[in-house]
Amino acid sequence: MRAFSYERVKTPAEAAAAVARTPGARFLAGGTNLLDLMKLEIETPPHLVDVNSLALDKIETTSDGGLRIGALVRNTALAADERVRRDYGLLSRAILAGASTQLRNRATTAGNLVQRTRCPYFYDTNQACNKRVPGSGCSAMHGFSHQHAVIGTSNACIATFPSDMAVALRVFNATVETVRPNGATRVIPIADFHRLPGNTPHIDNVLEQAELITSVTLPKPLGGKQVYRKVRDRASYAFALISVGAVIQPDGTGRVALGGVAHKPWRVEAAEQHLPRGAAPVAEQLLAGAKPTHENEFKIALVQRTLASVLANSKKG
């Protein structure tokens, strides 16, 4: 790990200003992903701004009946919150499908959204990786790619965004609130928060340098049957091969998003009109234009079958 200086701050604006002052500085919240990457010198910040003392750890009801989740609310606390369990069960389920309790006890809402890919070639500093070293190439493309993205990929990168939580947030159309070093705030729809890799896969999301996430807001509840189904190489404590998050209403309409298939949570609203007709037409439109590798083409069929299972499950009481 490279040496770094460390400071604690008291307000979000102070935090953003502190990161802006030192080139390459980073915010430190739970640290469960950042410290891991720093040990491997994939991340080498010269300065860390510890934001854990900021008062961003509350979950509050909004005036339109939704929930505003503070950026520092730990994953365990969010999944266990009574209101989330009652009205946004898909979010609880998705969070609980990720990592281990030890990690969820420290990982934060904002940190979950800005975690890096778990592509093994990103993690192995002996390999070419355009996300880690822009322009160095992509070892995954012709390597072991059974975990990798099948849609929204580019010739530069086939990494996935690994969050389960974000799949649920995409179904609910959550928004991400931020503050910048000059104190200006903005609201980013979750659909626009993560980027596709294109020619700049080293940029995961639309946050600017030193822009701090302060909260994530859920619109009013959708009701319906809420299901998160994650398919992986072992039953627990593993990243998704694919996952399906769905909210299905009694009349068969609903919303669906996928994890493990793209550089961002994958949702195609137009495909959802087919939900009452079953999984096949929905999956076909969701993954239209997919470019799987030889090793991960199984994901196309797996999405359709998992969605069929989710829809069958949603009809049970």
Q: Mapping DSSP to helix (H, G, I), strand (E, B) and coil, where does residue 200 land?
A: coil
Least distance (Å) between residue 75 CB and another protein = 11
* Of 164 and 177, CB closest to another protein: 164
Least distance (Å) between residue 294 CB and another protein = 17
* Of 106 and 195, CB closest to another protein: 106
* Of 180 and 230, CB closest to another protein: 230
> CA-CA distances (angstroms) from residue 243 to 52, 68, 161, 230, 272?
31, 25, 12, 4, 16
Instruction: Using DSSP bridges, classify how beta strands 212-218 and 225-231 pair: parallel, antiparallel or unpaired.
Output: unpaired
- H or E element, residue 245: strand 242-248
> CA-CA distances (angstroms) from residue 17 to 21, 211, 247, 252?
6, 9, 40, 48
* Distance separating alpha carbons of residues 162 and 277, to the nearest angstrom: 30
**183, burial (CB in 10 Å: exposed 0-12, middle 13-18, buried 19+):** exposed
> CA-CA distances (angstroms) from residue 45 to 13, 24, 38, 61?
20, 5, 8, 36
> CA-CA distances (angstroms) from residue 107 to 73, 115, 148?
8, 10, 23
Least distance (Å) between residue 207 CB and another protein = 22
* Of 2 and 294, CB closest to another protein: 2
* Of 94 and 169, CB closest to another protein: 94
DSSP letter at 158 equals -
* Of 96 and 150, CB closest to another protein: 96
Least distance (Å) between residue 128 CB and another protein = 20
* Of 32 and 147, CB closest to another protein: 32
Least distance (Å) between residue 80 CB and another protein = 5
Chain contacts with another protein (rule: CB under 8 A): 1-6, 28, 30-32, 35-36, 39, 46, 48, 50, 52, 76, 79-80, 85-86, 89, 92-93, 96-97, 99-103, 105-106, 235-237
Least distance (Å) between residue 108 CB and another protein = 12
What residue type is assigned to position 212 of the chain? L
Least distance (Å) between residue 230 CB and another protein = 8
Bridge partners of residue 186, in order along the sequence: 178
Pull the structure tokens for residue 307: 């969605």
* Distance separating alpha carbons of residues 275 and 246, to the nearest angstrom: 10
